[in-house]
Amino acid sequence: MKEKNFYTLGIETSCDETAAAILRGDRELLSNIVYSQAEIHKKYGGVVPEVASRDHLRKIQFVINEALTEAGVHLPELDLIGVTQGPGLVGCLLVGLSTAKGISFGLEKPLIGVNHLEGHLFAHYIESGLEAPPPFVALIVSGGHTSLVHVREWGHYEVIGETRDDAAGEAFDKVGKLIGLGYPAGIEVDRLSKQGNRSAIAFPRPMLDEPGFDFSFAGLKTAILYHMREHPETSQADLAASFQEAVVDVLVEKTLRAADDLKIGRIVVVGGVAANSRLRERFQSSDSGVGVDVHFPSLNLCTDNAAMIAAVAHFHYASNPAHVLNGLQDLSPSSSLRL
């Protein structure tokens, strides 16, 4: 494979971001276009699947064109197409998959279906995979997932803990909404927390005292609701900061414990909630404290993007080119694809 001029198109439409990226070789990003539907879903206070699918359909070709233009690559020059196959909203995934199949069929170029969660891990692969390779413990913390994963090597994953109910990002969004913040609420909780007192309210630290590496965040929402009823005078900022500290405490402590248990000196934090400033701060101070090496991708690679999808596709293609599909073969969306 001529690495230098091998171009991969990545396509991501699993939720409410329409994204396309062009990768040269294994990790050189030539473009990374993300169009967010947040404005559209704002008035409903959450992602409406049918609305999201229709908007992906409306935007996908423009987003791909922009990715090609910014990269200075023409469509026929593409060597490989990678597309998110799941997990995600089926109607949304179908738009990306159908588009990818059409391009693969038309150009007679290989196509690879990508697991979105492996995608989040590959945000690290793109930026720091060479200096900080596996083995490491990964905390995937996003809108739909909270998982601790033992990454033995790229392509070999063992999930050692998961949330039993809400994902951490989901908790951020629900609690943000509950305390009256706008959509999308996760990032608003982060912003507002900077003005609040994180020890104002001692919210529970769910599952922290239990063995194992599972999480649970649904109960926190109820704890906050009760607190708001009993103490309506509590400021939004104190509620946000105290809630955020409870979530961050659990995530940091469980992840450090997992690294210690597995005797692994490296931690990688990925997914949308990895953009949280307090989580980054706390992990970075633990870095110097207990001698583990902690990595976070840049903010634009934490939340959904297609660069990470292109990188996974290229990795699997390079490892085993015989296993690729083409636009004529079946590639169905999978809403609950696991790592």
Ligand X SMILES: Nc1ncnc2c1ncn2[C@@H]1O[C@H](COP(=O)(O)OP(=O)(O)OP(=O)(O)O)[C@@H](O)[C@H]1O
Binding footprint of ligand X on the chain (CB under 6 A) = 14-15, 87-88, 116, 142-145, 169-170, 172-173, 184, 186-187, 190, 271-273, 275-276, 303-304
Query: Contacting Mg ion (CB under 5 A), which of 12, 17, 118, 304?
Result: 304
**Residue 127 interaction partner, one of Mg ion, ligand X, none, beta carbon < 5-8 Å per kind:** none
Pairing of β 293-295 and β 17-24: unpaired
Q: 193: exposed, middle or buried (C-beta count within 10 Å: 0-12, 13-18, 19+)?
A: buried
In the complex, the smallest distance separating the C-beta of residue 308 from ligand X, rounded to whole angstroms, is 10
Give whichever of 142 and 286 is closer to ligand X, judged by the CB atom.
142
Closer residue to ligand X (CB): 264 or 268: 268
Pick one of 142, 193, 244, 286: the residue that binds Mg ion (CB under 5 A): 142
Pick the piece of the chain touching Mg ion (CB under 5 A) from 70-78, 125-133, 258-266, 302-310: 302-310
Smallest distance from Mg ion to CB 172, Å: 14
Whether 299 contacts 275, CB under 8 Å: yes
Say which residues have a Cβ less than 8 Å from residue 277's Cβ, sequence separation at least 6: 190, 194
The rounded distance, in Å, linking the Cα atoms of 157 and 135 is 10
Nearest distance from C-beta of residue 158 to ligand X, angstroms: 19
Residue where the block lists tokens 């404005």: 39
CB of 205 to ligand X, least distance (A): 17
Strand, coil or helix: what is 61? helix
CB of 246 to ligand X, least distance (A): 13
Cα 218 to Cα 107: distance, rounded to the nearest angstrom: 47
With contact defined as beta carbons under 8 Å apart, do 249 and 257 qualify?
A: no
- Positions that interact with Mg ion (CB under 5 A): 142, 304
